[in-house]
Structure 1
Amino acid sequence: MRPMLATSADAERGLPADGERWAYEVKWDGWRVIADLGDGRARLWSRSEREITAAFPELAQPPNPATALLDGEVVILVNGVPSFTALADRIHVTDPRKARALAARNPATLIAFDVLRHDGADLMRRSWQERREVLEGLDPGGRWQISPVYDDVGLLVHATLEQGLEGVVAKRRGSEYRPGVRSSDWRKLAHRRVQSVVVGGWRPEINDRGTIGALLIGVPGDDGRLRFAGRMGSGLTAAGPQAELRERLGPLQLERSPFGDAVPRADAKGATWVEPVVVVDARHLGRTENGRLRQPVFRGIRSDLRAEDVRYE
């Protein structure tokens, strides 16, 4: 099952300020998961409906033996703040020994913020407030936590900004859970601009043909065609991302550009085109009128997303 998604808050008005009708939570910088709990075990599924249980052995046995289906976020905390970089090393792991070693070094935490099923009862048609009361009754403990809820959006926005957290999510207390739907009943405000993009090609370093010097990135339009969003070279120097990108992009070569619009000659020069299926995250300083990201910086590969999941934030 695919999780319910939030829409972006209005840039001028921000999040709705009404603690009686809305609840406010921290926007966690991690991997969105659906967790299926039963018989003292947990199975984890990514947003793209891929099972990732093997990557997180420390979450395989929740302290509470409840039977439930939870929506939440897997995070790795470094100095009390979620680290996307630390988490990116975990999501692709399938070897049990490697997963256990990584878990011992940087254990993950699952922060649950919704419950969709409990003891066989489907809760998705119930209000967020009713579901929240059931969730709080689970009291998981250990590496399983429940995301705190606040009723003062102004204080939470200030606190999350001050503490270097990703942002705030507002949820309408009377809203149902709508799987796979991006709903205005949930609204998010991000302090840092991050955009998921699809890789449509790459260019080598000038003096090293084997090293990826820049990615040619895009975002699917409403018609499904990939629209060019710019060239991203910053953030690609680390050995880990280089190796993984080469491994993923190597078998995907195309003879022609996969972009539905023209890629400027200066960006396309020397490019190797690839099938547009690999999704990565980019930090940026905003967008131009034609949809290009300003100064995009590579942040990590998003194995939990498919190309068709990507839209402009």
Structure 2
Amino acid sequence: MWSTVIQRPGHASHTVEERVDTRNGGTYLWCDCGAWKFQVSKGGCAHVKLAREQQAAGTRRVDTPMTPEQRETIAAAEAAVTDRPSRAAPSSVPRQSRLDLPILPMLCEKVAAPKGTVNALGVEDDASRRWPILTRQDVAYEPKWDGHRMIVEARNGNVRLWARSQRDTTASYVEIAEAFRFADGVFDGEVIVLDVDGEHRFNALQNIGSLTKQQRSDRLRFVAWDVLEANGEVVMNRPYVDRRAILEDAQEAMLGPWAKGTEARVVLSPSVRDGVALWNAVLTRGLEGVIVKPLRSTWKSNDRGIWTKLKCLRRSDMIVVGYTSGLADHGNVVVPFGALVLAEYDGEELRYAGKVGTGFTQTTVEQVLDTLRPFETATPPWANAGTVKKVLMSVGPRKVTWVRPTVEVVVEYQERGADGVPRFPSFKGMAGMREEASA
């Protein structure tokens, strides 16, 4: 009998031991990571596989008979696999062999950043270090991905992808289904599409229909961040740290060859303990935000009171070029104001920047209309009829009252689409006046 210590780059060290199988008198390799028992049919966890390779190559780090004291230590570790600091205690919930699908995904509670955390340019300042939720020690932080939420069911070579609406979307993402052909479990994550620069953007996912077969193969990804079932056993009732360990330590066995390399179609979402560093990183890269997950939390269908979503929002000063009418009383009554029509200057060219209809109170609506009325005009700010038609089609059927491009407002938004128009904009206040001569 022998034991060895396995140290994978970027991972904690684990002990692998050769043990006697009392059922048949043979031997097997046991690992203190806990994931090995979910991967017996796959040849063991990643540490067991590495130990086999070292043994075959004659490079095993430790190759000595164990003392009784060592055996007692190993036995104690086996009785409480998650005793290490990076693991939570095993769940006392009775085991469930298979999960009933489809299932509603676990959700997040949205928390707004405190005032001053993000400045007008969308760049973090020192206030992020004063945000307590970013400095908790009992949670893990993961980036918020901007794609389509998906539950992947992979059993006996059959793969199905379930959308958040519980609709079967396997046919829409056959490349992802193919990537899970060797997996055995149920995985939670998100389908994303990379743009030409290698960044993931929601507008790239919206335009997936325009991609060639080769482009889909190159850019389509599934970001896995949780596991609900592994090798026939439901693990969703185990703590986050245990589920994460199963997902990380058994990645190759569960996800198959597509999980290898930087171009893998299935990738693991980063999970870190430094919330401030991740928050600053997602701001710098223009990502959507951060998800906060308690280390001891279980996975609960349709629950939004455990995970917390911190969204990164950006602000810009934009020019008002018009406003639309709106509807009230369940859409049956036309009211004077519905949304502001926005534009921005790109050099000397005035470009359409969408519309904003949220963030207003009755008082701010009256203030905005009082400010805009002196600048009302019958002429659109664009001389090109094609541009005006495009803007009117984007605005919709509401009547548009044009104004000279003089008044500026502050707009907060999540990100910009491929056309440069802000997504999910919200009105935050008046920014001032432009000089009409320059406008």
TM-score range, shorter chain: 0.5 to 0.7
Conservation of the 8 A alpha-carbon contact between 1:9 and 1:15: no
TM-score (norm 2): 0.44
Deviations 1:208-258 (A, max 9, x none): xxxxxx8979xxxxxxxxxx7xxxxxxxxxxxxxxxxxxxxxxxxxxxx75
- Tell me: CA distance 1:168–1:267, structure 2 relative to 1, closer, same or farther (3 Å): closer
Cα separation, 2, equivalents of 1:182 and 1:267: 31
Matches within 5 A, 1:220-231: none
Find the residue that maps to 2:292 and give its secondary structure: strand
Find the residue that maps to 1:181 and give its secondary structure: coil
Find the residue that maps to 1:114 and give its secondary structure: strand
Conservation of the 8 A alpha-carbon contact between 1:71 and 1:113: yes
TM-score (norm 1): 0.60
Which has a greater percent of helix?
A: 2
- Tell me: CA distance 1:69–1:283, structure 2 relative to 1, closer, same or farther (3 Å): farther
Aligned equivalent of 1:24, options 141, 145, 155? 141
The match for 1:165 is 287
The match for 1:83 is 201
The alignment status of 1:7 with 2:119, answered yes or no, reads no
Cα separation, 2, equivalents of 1:287 and 1:157: 25
Which has a greater percent of strand?
A: 1
Residue ranges of structure 1 left out of the alignment (5+ in a row): 194-213, 218-227, 229-256, 269-281, 301-313
Structure with larger Rg: 2
Cα separation, 2, equivalents of 1:136 and 1:171: 16
CA drift of 1:189 comes to 1.1
The match for 1:137 is 249
Matches within 5 A, 1:262-277: 264-267=335-338
Taking every aligned residue pair, what percent have the same amino acid on both sides? 30
Cα separation, 2, equivalents of 1:10 and 1:295: 13
CA drift of 1:137 comes to 2.7
Aligned equivalent of 1:107, options 192, 204, 219? 219
Structure 1 residue identity aligned to 2:359: R
Cα separation, 2, equivalents of 1:286 and 1:14: 26
Cα separation, 2, equivalents of 1:163 and 1:100: 27
The match for 2:43 is none
Find the residue that maps to 1:57 and give its secondary structure: helix
The alignment status of 1:192 with 2:263, answered yes or no, reads no
Find the residue that maps to 1:17 and give its secondary structure: helix
CA drift of 1:165 comes to 1.1
The match for 1:180 is 302
Find the residue that maps to 1:54 and give its secondary structure: helix
Cα separation, 1, equivalents of 2:240 and 2:297: 5
- Tell me: CA distance 1:100–1:15, structure 2 relative to 1, closer, same or farther (3 Å): farther
Conservation of the 8 A alpha-carbon contact between 1:128 and 1:175: yes
CA drift of 1:172 comes to 0.5
- Tell me: CA distance 1:283–1:26, structure 2 relative to 1, closer, same or farther (3 Å): farther
CA drift of 1:29 comes to 1.0
Structure 2 residue identity aligned to 1:149: S
Deviations 1:38-68 (A, max 9, x none): 2334211111111111111211222672211
Cα separation, 2, equivalents of 1:86 and 1:14: 32
Q: C-alpha root-mean-square deviation of aligned residues, in Å?
A: 3.9
The match for 1:148 is 270
Residue ranges of structure 2 left out of the alignment (5+ in a row): 1-102, 115-129, 315-323, 340-353, 366-410, 419-439
CA drift of 1:80 comes to 2.7
Cα separation, 2, equivalents of 1:216 and 1:285: 9
Conservation of the 8 A alpha-carbon contact between 1:166 and 1:191: yes
Cα separation, 1, equivalents of 2:165 and 2:215: 23
Structure 2 residue identity aligned to 1:287: G
